[in-house]
Amino acid sequence: MKLVTSPHPPRRATWFSFLTLSRLLLILFGALPASAIPPADTLRVNAALEEVFIEPTFYSVLEDPSGTLTLEQVQTPEWAGRFQRASTLPTTTMDHPGAAYWLRLQVQARGELRQHWYLELFDSHLNNVEFFPPDGTAPTITGAGLPLSTRKFPYKNFLFRLPLRPEQTQTYYLRLVSSSKTTFLSRLRTEQPLAVHFQTEYGLLGGFYGILLIMVVYNLCIYLFIGEQTYLRYVLYVLSCSLVFLSEDGLGFQYLWPTQPALNELIIAGSPILLLLTFSYYARHFLDISQRLPRLDRWVRAVVLLSVGGLLIDTAWLHSGWGFWLYLLPYGLIYYAAYRVWQRGQRTARYFLLAHALVALSVGFLILRRLGIDTFTNTATVYSMNVAFVVEVVVLSYALGEKIKAIKDATIRTQGKLVKQLRKKHEVQNQLVEQLHHNQSLKDQLNSELEGLVAERTAELSRQSETIAAQNRELLQANGLLALQSAAIEKLNKELQHDLQEVKTARVLSKEVDFGEFSQIYPDKDACLAYLANLKWGEGYQCRKCGHEKFCDGREPHSRRCTKCRYVESATAYTLLQKCKFSIIKAFYAVFLIYTHQGNYSSQELSRVLDLRQGTCWSFSQKVQEAMRRRRQSPDFDENEGWTHVLLDATTQDAEESATSEESVARA
């Protein structure tokens, strides 16, 4: 629902009584047949009238939810009988945004008319308006959703000329479409009252916007001169007020963006939301709510943000037409905060309460109009919001000046206190200066005495410095000897550790050790794989598939991938540990035990030592003994070689299985 431009109070009571009395007399005396009496919903005009307010009873309304009916269809008996008088409807508003409403208006001209008559629709926000003259000429198609050039008369409201004919009743049709709820309020006017109304209305509106512009420029200049943020917030608030009124009364579309109907609809929907934001932004700072009522300030901010979110959702998707109720809670909460601040002693808050009391009253009239209650609809109530906002901006501007003056007075009082404190401080400083002069004389005397003592002490210190320098030279020589000794000791420790490691390794290679001592040499799987990879490829790598000698790391730890054929070979491939079913550390120890005992190590003992099943130990023992036999038969066998050479031995079947497995991994 949109703000409706003010209709003037209808001056029809005397004329209506005269018509009623005349009709009764004509019927009683037989001068006018009953069949010649115009229908009750016919609007009659004559040369003595200048303007007529159209009551809802004169309208016949047909709602077209689909929006597809044409003039020819609604004139057929089928659809003509479905028209209902607006007075018989539950409300005289367009309750279904987006639907098409057909209005049928019958006007009868009595006698010769000296002036042309015009139909004015008060709501300038109707998205689409089609006016169909009774003579069958082309309809006038305009609306807020079309550029202003579609209107025959460049006026903020919709104005249509009625080609009335003397002593004839003519039927006019209007097709209205609106994106929000609105009313059917309108008026018939002749040329001369219309011109007078234009001058008066545009003059008052010009004065209204002139006052707003003066307030904006005045407060903006003050902000630029003194830099007070409250003035800038006030300027933003007044500008958003101006944008709301420009969109509501249609002057913005008439003068500022006449070729941008989409922008017009956006401003109509968004300017009240912007007004809520700027008002809360200004009011919170003007009332100092964050300092005086911090808890209530958090509630105000939360309610404003939630209301803005709800309004955006309603504007963009819901289109309920009841979004204006979301404005009442944040405005009411801010008004309550102003009352609390006033109770706590801020004098300027009373101006805020007074100004917004008038705005609240005008908003009440607006809500009644949007609810379809036209009891209080007249020029004073419709334009009351303009008057209230003028009073508000003037009062708030004065209140803002009062607030700044109060701050200035408080600053002056504080500065006076500071001046008194500075005077006292100056007196104390004078006393301190005298004391400092006295201290300076004492200091000069002490300095002369100290200079002699310093000279004596300096000579003594120079002698001690020479003694310390000689001692430092002796210490440097001693430190050099200690450094040589430390280096020799460190070298000896490294040699001892190396010898100890070699002894441990030699002991492992030469005789039996327990599993704990063996695990110190090969602590984990990674160490075993590293040793096995070094044993295989220590003298260089060569691919078993293509003979290429360059490689990169494979996916498995310590594996090799050929850079040419991408063949992958793991560290255990082609070794005795190919497909080993248990820990590689235990496998190393098992090979060590079996080798050091020349193959005469029972599977029961091996099972006990390794904590494995006897069958597993027996199978692995047989595999190791077979490898030992093949090693002894090889041409490069040495009697003194260690047990690790056995690890590189593998049967032909293991080698083939290894090659097959590695090839499948490479393909993967």
pLDDT-derived band at 98 (thresholds 50, 70, 90) equals: confident
Strand partners, 109: 45, 166
pLDDT for position 660: 52
Instruction: Please state, in angstroms and rounded to a whole number, the distance separating the CA atoms of residues 212 and 235.
Output: 10
pLDDT tens-digit series, residues 116-126: 899 999 888 88
Instruction: Please state, in angstroms and rounded to a whole number, the distance separating the CA atoms of residues 657 and 536.
Output: 18
pLDDT-derived band at 543 (thresholds 50, 70, 90) equals: very high
Does residue 322 or residue 355 have the better pLDDT? 355
**Percent of the chain scoring above 70 in pLDDT:** 83
Strand partners, 121: 158, 186
Determine contact, residues 400/222, Cβ cutoff 8 Å: no
pTM recorded for the entire structure:
0.54
Instruction: Please state, in angstroms and rounded to a whole number, the distance separating the CA atoms of residues 578 and 570.
Output: 9
| pLDDT beyond 60 at 8 | no
pLDDT tens-digit series, residues 175-198: 999 877 777 778 899 988 888 888
Give 137's DSSP letter. Answer: P
* Summary count for the chain: helices (H), strands (E): 19, 14
Q: Which of 28-42, 278-292, 482-496, 637-651 has the lowest mean pLDDT?
A: 28-42
Q: Which of 77-81, 299-303, 635-639 has the lowest mean pLDDT?
A: 635-639
pLDDT for position 651: 59
Tell me which residue of 519, 520, 522 sits closest to 530, measured CA to CA: 522
In angstroms, how far is the first alpha carbon of the chain from the final one? 70
pLDDT for position 504: 53
pLDDT for position 437: 85
Q: Which of 393-407, 437-451, 587-601 has the lowest mean pLDDT?
A: 393-407
Neighbours of 589 (CB within 10 A): 21
Q: Which of 88-97, 349-358, 436-445 has the lowest mean pLDDT?
A: 88-97
Average pLDDT over residues 435-448: 84
Does residue 498 or residue 419 have the better pLDDT? 419
Coil/strand/helix, residue 256: helix
Question: E strands within 412-541?
Answer: none
- CA 134 to chain centroid: 54
Does residue 502 or residue 347 have the better pLDDT? 347
Average pLDDT over residues 96-105: 88
pLDDT-derived band at 92 (thresholds 50, 70, 90) equals: low
**Percent of the chain scoring above 90 in pLDDT:** 14
Q: What order of strands is seen across the sheet that includes strand 568-569?
A: 551-553, 560-562, 568-569
CA distances from 318 to 179, 312, 315, 321, 329 (A): 11, 9, 6, 8, 20
pLDDT for position 31: 32
| pLDDT beyond 80 at 512 | no
pLDDT-derived band at 661 (thresholds 50, 70, 90) equals: low
Neighbours of 520 (CB within 10 A): 11
Q: Which of 363-367, 469-473, 546-550 has the lowest mean pLDDT?
A: 363-367
